[in-house]
Structure 1
Amino acid sequence: MKNYQISEDIKYLEQFSREARRYLHTIPEASGQEHKTSQYCQSVMRALGYKITEYPGYTGFHADLDVDASKKRIAFRADMDGLEMPDLTETEYKSTHENLAHNCGHDTHMAIALTAARYLAEHPEKLAFNVRFIFQMAEEDMRVPGAEKMVEGGCVNGVDEIYALHNDASMESGSIKVNDNIMSSWGAAWTLDVHGESAHGSTPHKGKDAIREAVRIINDLDYIIAKQTNPFSPAVFGCGMFHGGTVPNAIPDYVQARGTIRSMDEETDGILRSSLNQIAKESALRGFNTSMVCTGYPAVINHSYASQRIIAAASTFLQDIDSHCKPMTGSEDFSYMVNAVPDKKGALFFLGSGCQEKGIHNYLHANPYYVDDDCLLVGAQIFIELATH
């Protein structure tokens, strides 16, 4: 049973929001390659009367609706990229792009933004702000320029406050989580390349085993967290990819491994990053040519004013509001946008997109990843409330 009531004013947008999400679900694209996605979103926003600003060489764009030069500007971010994995959902709107899927629900974020944008364009007299919608490329892959590049290009120039949401299908539709402090971790993706010397498996002493060296380095990283970081400051090290060798009876001369680090304070993030570089340097003393590249995001730190604005907007129609939630251990480059607005006046919140009654209860990046479309108008109504009050 629903414990919330969508405003009668926006119910007419239900079909529009569902059709937008389901179409976007069919065309997921890799980080930085969101060409079809961007074209579709731009076409919708242009038709609604928004002024489009593109970023040459990139797929991201922002769209402005100006009603009064004396008003402040509010911005909303929607990320556009999918994940490089097959879509295992069994729906009529399954991904048509091989090995690409919206298993983080960015199709949901875009549909919510488009729905809110349509309502605001059709009811400009209700606006308390001039409005900007930022459609961001490349949130998922830390190695590809995303929010940071859009900030450099001016996406938050003239913006007074900024908001974003992230769906979570482990939460019920009609619920949100937010806080007025750290909302996501400091995070980075690392790539380790180890070059050794190949040899026959029967004569390992004649080569330099890149697999053994890479494994040793990865084990050292676990040691760093165990012995060099503050036990009261959470830190996570993960290795998600490991590739090396071509035959079972040869010592490989090259291995690449990739993974992530996460932490909940800036000091720990610095320890982890410096340790990665130091470990790679020490590998050279054993005769290996080793490199470690690490790129990542600062934490999203919600501004108290902005988080209270979210709570006030959601309280007009929702009951299930967790206003003191724990931060997620995942990372979000929305932090670059928050950090670039005056007084860092911005906030991120989590929007429930699951429904136990419909059998929808999965975590981000799960495969298959299902979303309850009822969440679309919930997210849109919160954005609308923020823009009109």
Structure 2
Amino acid sequence: MQDFVIDSKLLAMQELGESFRHSLHKIPEVSGAEFKTSAFCQDVLKKAGFTITTFEGYTGFLADLDSQSENTPRIAIRADMDALEMSDLTQNEHTSTHKGLAHNCGHDLHMAIALLSGCFIAKHKEKLPCNVRFIFQMAEEKAHIPGANKMVELGCMEGVDEVYALHNDASLEYGSVKINNGIMSSFGTIWSLSIQGKAAHSSTPQKGLDAIREGARILADMDYIVAKKTDPFSVAVFSCGMFQGGSIPNGVAESALLKGTIRAMDSKTDEILKNAFKEIEEQSALRGFKTKFSYDGYLAIFNHTKCVKRLVESAQKVLKKDEMLIQECEPMSASEDFSEMINACKDKKGAMYFLGSGNKAKGICNYLHSNPYYVEDKAILVGAQIWINLILSFGK
């Protein structure tokens, strides 16, 4: 860890931080059902001295540690808990014990960083310049399952002055920090479109309404919308990852189901893409088809300037090499529901940054959701020290 400035007392807790991640990596759980994961994290923070708030019917919880001073601001840090429905192809002593589930997005790393920094500040509570809340969130991976939006509804942002989060990136060398002032992630929407036509024999197609052909027409129209109706200088991505239709080879398909995503980097483009589906539905109705369009998604993350400044200063205290701090980077084309918490915060004060979790020397340079997905455990200390710096310097 010679390239980083780590408090000696935190450095002595390195094995503890790694044990947190390894234990959590063994028990990945599906979005919204992170029961063992939540219980593990609650137990660690409760023993450390945090006040735990749970919500009936949900695995998400709050862990609060208040300073000894009155009328102090509250800072919140989000850690997501869910895993992916993928087999864990890692081969080590902490490989997943839950068949078909794996932490291939590194949420186990996020939680370990939060737990380690929480344990550290609890031991130095007398130095706290602010109240601290760790938000352990369920279901970040699936937009149709209550996640950040439900946590906000349950009151996770009440009394919070600023909110922060990190996301690991194993394609970056461990300890590297990447942050953007302003937009940090895309508007991301998962859409579903069902088409109801009319069945007929393939020898008499005029008697039916071909749902498969109507689906193909819709895909072509959406590609046209992206090419001709959106600003060429604005990001607009349309994709269809699932197309199911028909039941027999010698018939006109009675129904079809299409699913995919749309992504944009600004609200205007996002609205153009969503409204295009409404126009397409109207056209399908004129052609005799019945359609149903539905979608779930996340708003873009917009990092607040003041919060970015705090994060940059906290990271600079840790990183010895200037090149390890990457500012004004390209936002990620993926989306994140942490935007719900920023938008619910006072004056929308919040920010997310990316923490490198790779190690090229060890062959760890995989992208999120790849399989196998490895991370460098040394990133835990770096991430924890950044959170500790942020908390202990808050208000200065």
1:87–1:250 CA distance, 2 compared to 1 (3 A): farther
Task: Give the partner amino acid of 2:63.
Answer: A
Counterpart Cα distance in 1 of 2:205 and 2:89: 43
Task: Give the partner amino acid of 2:17.
Answer: S
Counterpart Cα distance in 1 of 2:85 and 2:252: 30
Counterpart Cα distance in 2 of 1:23 and 1:298: 32
- Residue 77 of structure 1 aligns to a residue whose secondary structure is strand
- Residue 20 of structure 1 aligns to a residue whose secondary structure is helix
How far residue 190 of structure 1 moved from its aligned partner, in angstroms, is 0.6
**Which residue matches 2:107?**
106
**Which residue matches 2:230?**
229
Counterpart Cα distance in 1 of 2:371 and 2:248: 31
**Which residue matches 1:3?**
3
User: Larger deviation: 25-34 or 171-180?
Assistant: 25-34
Q: 5 Å matches for 1:132-151?
A: 132-151=133-152
Instruction: Check conservation: 1:51, 1:65, Cα contact below 8 A.
Output: yes
**Which residue matches 2:64?**
64
Instruction: Check conservation: 2:163, 2:349, Cα contact below 8 A.
Output: yes
**Which residue matches 1:88?**
89
Task: Give the partner amino acid of 1:271.
Answer: I
**Which residue matches 1:339?**
343
Instruction: Check conservation: 1:66, 1:131, Cα contact below 8 A.
Output: yes
**Which residue matches 2:276?**
275
How far residue 286 of structure 1 moved from its aligned partner, in angstroms, is 2.0
Pairing 1:55–2:55 present: yes
What TM-score, normalized by structure 1, do the two folds share? 0.95
- Residue 303 of structure 2 aligns to a residue whose secondary structure is coil
Task: Give the partner amino acid of 2:219.
Answer: I
**Which residue matches 1:164?**
165
Instruction: Check conservation: 2:4, 2:382, Cα contact below 8 A.
Output: no
Counterpart Cα distance in 1 of 2:359 and 2:293: 42
1:257–1:361 CA distance, 2 compared to 1 (3 A): same
How far residue 227 of structure 1 moved from its aligned partner, in angstroms, is 0.8
Counterpart Cα distance in 2 of 1:214 and 1:91: 45
| Gaps in structure 2 of 5+ consecutive residues | none
Counterpart Cα distance in 1 of 2:107 and 2:366: 15
**Which residue matches 1:388?**
392
Percent identity (aligned):
55
- Residue 167 of structure 2 aligns to a residue whose secondary structure is strand
String of CA shifts for 1:338-367, please: whole Å, max 9, x gaps: 111112111100000001001000111112
Counterpart Cα distance in 2 of 1:281 and 1:17: 55
1:366–1:2 CA distance, 2 compared to 1 (3 A): farther
**Which residue matches 2:41?**
41
**Which residue matches 1:209?**
210
Aligned residues: 389
Q: 5 Å matches for 1:366-385?
A: 366-385=370-389
How far residue 175 of structure 1 moved from its aligned partner, in angstroms, is 0.5
Instruction: Check conservation: 1:2, 1:174, Cα contact below 8 A.
Output: no
How far residue 284 of structure 1 moved from its aligned partner, in angstroms, is 2.0
- Residue 259 of structure 2 aligns to a residue whose secondary structure is strand
Match of 2:331 among 327, 333, 353: 327
Instruction: Check conservation: 2:32, 2:146, Cα contact below 8 A.
Output: yes
Pairing 1:127–2:131 present: no
How far residue 246 of structure 1 moved from its aligned partner, in angstroms, is 4.2
User: Larger deviation: 168-177 or 100-109?
Assistant: 100-109
How far residue 65 of structure 1 moved from its aligned partner, in angstroms, is 0.7
Task: Give the partner amino acid of 1:377.
Answer: L
User: Larger deviation: 191-200 or 123-132?
Assistant: 191-200
Q: 5 Å matches for 1:146-295?
A: 146-295=147-296
Task: Give the partner amino acid of 1:150.
Answer: M
How far residue 235 of structure 1 moved from its aligned partner, in angstroms, is 1.0
1:67–1:25 CA distance, 2 compared to 1 (3 A): same
String of CA shifts for 1:72-128, please: whole Å, max 9, x gaps: 111100011112222222233222223222111111111111111111112212222
Task: Give the partner amino acid of 1:83.
Answer: L
